[in-house]
A and B are shown apart, each in its own frame.
Chain A
């Protein structure tokens, strides 16, 4: 019997594989991508530039938009009525930007900014897939794309928010925004107490990605998303093959 590959000559293990498993959808994406390159729809170089561009996107412009809206009532009005126009002032051009200059099919150019009030809390989900305002928020977190979040948020919003650490009193109404056509959404949360006199930079720091999705609210001193504990399944599925 051959020597076990895990015990090398020098007593160390070979590097672990980069990914444990490639999903069917990733295989499908690769197949379609390679076909598209072969047919000349775009080049491998185009693809590399686009993916690298996507990796540069993050939630900072949206945090800036919220901070500006807290400080400037006229800008807040613009943000709520025309999110695409308001995005220009934080450096995001939904229409004339990479890769397509008309919004990719998953980032249509219709941003809506949902304004929370003392009596209404918004939270965003895409129950169909993973629609997300990528140009202004970057790539969605993994949990946002899970069937667990997508299925349960529309049905049990208060319970799911509580799991995120956000317990809402009964006199605050919850509005779940199911983003599954051509609009994309960010939440404009309430400006928290204890931030009086703060600058735009200070305010932008407490508007985390989770606040912009609506599963958290800004708090002075909190500038990062809460850690998401991963619980092992109670009754895990066993694969025998």
Chain B
């Protein structure tokens, strides 16, 4: 069998002793959004792999924190680490996710993380 020319150890070399996602620090460029921004999750097409949950798509939310830089899961699944992105911690009101969520608990929330490609200004 011929030898693969793809270096399957590049991630090990980059991350050992630093950690993942720490090893991508400083590679994403300036972030597009800041804490407190109101954003909306784009309903992007995804082929074969995504970590963007259906329940978040199209929903408005607030940026709670800029958490780290990393290739998006949708790229990294294919070992594409060329373009790291900012990841944001986002807070959704339950009422915005599930229209019949009980009014009595209007301040209940869901927090989750997504990369920059999934966000647009609300």
Q: Which residues of A line the B interface, CB within 8 A? A: 41, 84, 94-96, 100-103, 105, 108-110, 112, 127-128, 154-155, 157-158, 170, 173-183
* B16, CB-defined interface residue at 8 Å: yes
| B55 contacts across to A, CB distance below 8 A | 127, 154-155
Q: With A84-B19, A108-B21 in contact, do A170 and B104 touch (Cβ < 8 Å)?
A: yes
| B53 contacts across to A, CB distance below 8 A | 127-128, 178, 180
- Kindly provide the distance from the CB of A162 to the nearest chain B CB, expressed in whole angstroms: 13
* B116, CB-defined interface residue at 8 Å: no
**Dominant SS among interface residues on chain B:** mixed
A94 touches which of B16, B19, B94 (Cβ 8 Å) = B19
Number of A-B residue pairs, CB cutoff 8 Å, is: 100
| A84 contacts across to B, CB distance below 8 A | 19
The answer to whether A177 and B70 have CB atoms under 8 Å apart is no
The answer to whether A103 and B20 have CB atoms under 8 Å apart is yes
* B30, CB-defined interface residue at 8 Å: no
Q: With A170-B104, A174-B105, A177-B111 in contact, do A96 and B17 touch (Cβ < 8 Å)?
A: yes
| A95 contacts across to B, CB distance below 8 A | 17-19, 22
The answer to whether B109 and A100 have CB atoms under 8 Å apart is no
The answer to whether B21 and A182 have CB atoms under 8 Å apart is yes
A175 touches which of B19, B73, B108 (Cβ 8 Å) = B108
